[in-house]
Amino acid sequence: MIKEKKVKFTAGQICATPGALEAMNLSEQSPMEFVGRHVTGDWGDVCEDDAKVNEESLEHGLRLLSSYRTNEGVKLWVITEADRSATTILLPEEY
């Protein structure tokens, strides 16, 4: 049986930087693949402390940050604003 993960917060408007769009295009991956993981609380490759901060941020309405790698190994960050108005996919160097 496949268990679906529950959405923990709304993403708001979804945006992506040029570098992130290029990386996802080269790996033939959709932005929704990363945003889908993010909104269900799969924080990806963040350290344990950052994962705890994200869990606390869910309770207190603060910014959320996830880190993933594309199939080509390119690191992407997914950041949702504290007010949940927008979620941005970007390369760390574009921050």
State residue 3's pLDDT score: 63
CA 31 to chain centre: 9
The string of pLDDT tens digits covering residues 18-72 is: 999 999 999 999 999 999 999 999 999 999 999 999 999 999 999 999 999 999 9
The string of pLDDT tens digits covering residues 38-47 is: 999 999 999 9
Domain boundaries, the chain: 13-94
State residue 19's pLDDT score: 98
Q: Which pTM does this prediction carry?
A: 0.94
**Distances in whole angstroms, Cα of residue 2 to Cα of each of 5, 9, 13:** 10, 22, 29
User: CA–CA separation, 18 vs 31, rounded Å?
Assistant: 12
Residue 1 predicted with pLDDT over 90: no
Residue 5 banded pLDDT, cuts 50, 70, 90: confident
User: Which residues are within 8 A (CB) of 45 and not within 5 positions of it... i.e. 6 or more apart?
Assistant: 67, 68, 69, 75
**End-to-end Cα separation, the chain, in angstroms:** 39
Q: What are phi and psi of 34, to 5 degrees?
A: -80, -45
